[in-house]
Amino acid sequence: MVVCDVGRAIVVAALPAAFWLGLPLGVMYALVFAATSFSAVFNPARLALTPDLLEHDELGRGNALLIASDRVVDVAGSLLAGVLVQAVTVLAFYVDAASFLLSAFLLMQIGMSREPRSTLSAAAIWKDARDGLRVIRNVSALWTNTVFSLIAQLSIPVFNSLMPVLIFKAFGGATEYGIAEGAFALGAVAAGLLLPAAFQSMHKGRLVVLGFAAFGLVLLVIARANDFATLVLLLVIAGVANMLSFIPNVTIAQEITPPTYRARVFGARIALLNLTWLPVIFVSGALGDVIGVTPLIAIAGAVTLVTAIAGAFIPAVRDVP
């Protein structure tokens, strides 16, 4: 994780330098790709580390607060970025790079004993990916949770890709889109703050099923929203529902995965999620021009709702404590 943060700091700091030097656009894309690649390694590593820092009965609450803080940082960071760009122009990139260095420094203060790992190489990465997939397939509860989650989350790439189109076509422009993004984030933060209490009174499996069912139902209603105020309210609810399924789902995966394989399993799960999302994004974009945006959002919501209803009858999904 420290290496990823240092790598992101270097790459982000290199962006304005590449611009000043007049380097080809391909170099810019390569730097952005490198930064994204570091994030792709950092995120599963963070999810794997969290259970080692918390007591077992604190894990759900810790995940809720951590993910809620992510959403706060997303919103506040976007606002701060705009202010910084206006105030110091390209120097904002160096502020961003410094934030990654600060993160690396803070991570270095965490004293964690670890067994030595093999040298980073393409072969080692491929082996880790295969190990993660093997563990997912061999641990029955993890396999069931992964398959259920992949199907239930197919509505999310449709929602993410078509919601901006819906807002710009039916409700306004950039201002309305910003309000809509803020509404969804507000719901996510509220859910993160409220979920710690829910973890004490409900099984995590039932929270996951309830969250997916609520998200699917909200998408069905969003498809019929006629005014922007109603849409904003529905997006707040959608943000709550999304976190209601996501946070306990992460916690379940952390608890049922063998500790030595957590990073590999989370890396494999994220890879599988992206592989299922990519074709959905391409297909939804093409179909949106043919049958319209709102019917597609409704179909996506129906898929998630039906999957959640099915999950309610699967003990391996529903009854995870």
Q: Which two tokens stand for residue 181?
A: 């993004």
How do the pLDDT tens digits run along the chain, 321 residues long? 899 999 999 999 999 899 888 889 899 999 999 999 888 889 888 888 899 899 888 898 899 988 888 888 877 776 777 677 677 677 888 888 999 999 999 999 886 655 555 555 667 778 888 999 999 999 999 999 999 999 999 999 999 999 999 999 999 888 888 889 889 999 999 998 888 888 778 899 999 999 999 999 999 999 999 999 999 999 999 999 999 999 999 999 999 999 999 989 999 999 999 999 999 999 998 898 889 999 999 999 999 999 999 999 999 999 998
Specify whether the CB–CB gap between 134 and 261 falls below 8 A: no
Instruction: Note the pTM of the prediction, 2 decimals.
Output: 0.89
Maximal CA-CA distance, the chain: 60
Runs of H (alpha helix) within 228-292: 228-256, 262-291
**Domain positions in the chain:** 1-110, 125-313
Specify whether the CB–CB gap between 301 and 220 falls below 8 A: yes
Specify whether the CB–CB gap between 185 and 75 falls below 8 A: yes
Specify whether the CB–CB gap between 319 and 149 falls below 8 A: no
Q: Is 258 helix (H, G, I), strand (E, B) or coil?
A: coil
Tokens 């703050």 -> residue: 193
Please state, in angstroms and rounded to a whole number, the distance separating the CA atoms of residues 154 and 68: 22
Please state, in angstroms and rounded to a whole number, the distance separating the CA atoms of residues 188 and 64: 10
Torsion angle of alpha carbons 176, 68, 4, 90, nearest 10°?
A: 40
For residue 137, which amino acid is it?
A: R
Name which of 235, 169, 185, 238 is nearest 78 in CA terms: 185
The 10 Å Cβ neighbour count of residue 77 is 13
Specify whether the CB–CB gap between 244 and 195 falls below 8 A: yes
Q: Is 314 helix (H, G, I), strand (E, B) or coil?
A: coil
Level-2 CATH architecture, domain 125-313: Up-down Bundle (1.20)
Name which of 270, 198, 211 is nearest 243 in CA terms: 211
Please state, in angstroms and rounded to a whole number, the distance separating the CA atoms of residues 192 and 202: 15
